[in-house]
Each structure stands twice: as structure tokens, then as C-alpha cells.
Amino acid sequence: MTLFALIHVVRQRPDAFTAVDKATKTTWTAILAASLFAIIVLWSLYGLMILGLAGVVASGVYLADVRPKVDEVQRGPRW
């Protein structure tokens, strides 16, 4: 889920994030990259579950709130 969100954010235009009044593309890229690191390295290897869960929550926020709005503003209105 986090890898999908990170790939999605990297492929989007930077102005789409500001058009929907969300954090910038750079901010979301950093959040999701840190989330992926927390899930893969800290949770899997060291058992620091709280940081991995925070990464899952951040990915969920992006996918549920930011992604649909960014996609909509880039696609335009549906008929």
C-alpha cells in the first residue's frame, strides 16, 4: 500500500497538490518515503511496531484523502 502511494505521488504534477489545498508534492514524497522505511526496516527488522503503524496511517491518509482529489483535478470534471 505504501509503495503504491509513493509511486503515485512521484508520478503526479506538483501543482496538482496546491490546487486541492493539500501539502506539497515534496512533503508527501518525504512522508511516504519515511513511511516505507519505517514499515520495511523498523517494523520488519527491529519490531518497532508503533513507527510502522504510523507509516500505514500516513499511507492511508494519502490514499483516502489526497489521491482522489489530486486525480480529480488532473483529470477534470466527469460527465
Average pLDDT over residues 8-23: 92
> Residues 22-78: pLDDT tens digits?
999 999 999 999 999 988 888 777 777 888 888 899 999 999 999 999 998 988 766
Q: How many domains does the chain fold into? A: 1
Cell numbers for 53? 503503524
For residue 77, the model assigns a pLDDT of 66
CA 12: distance to chain centroid? 11
Give the residue numbers spanning the domain of 30. Answer: 2-75
Give the pLDDT score at 52: 82
pLDDT the model gives residue 43: 76
Q: What is the pLDDT of residue 31?
A: 96
Task: Look up the pTM and report it.
Answer: 0.85
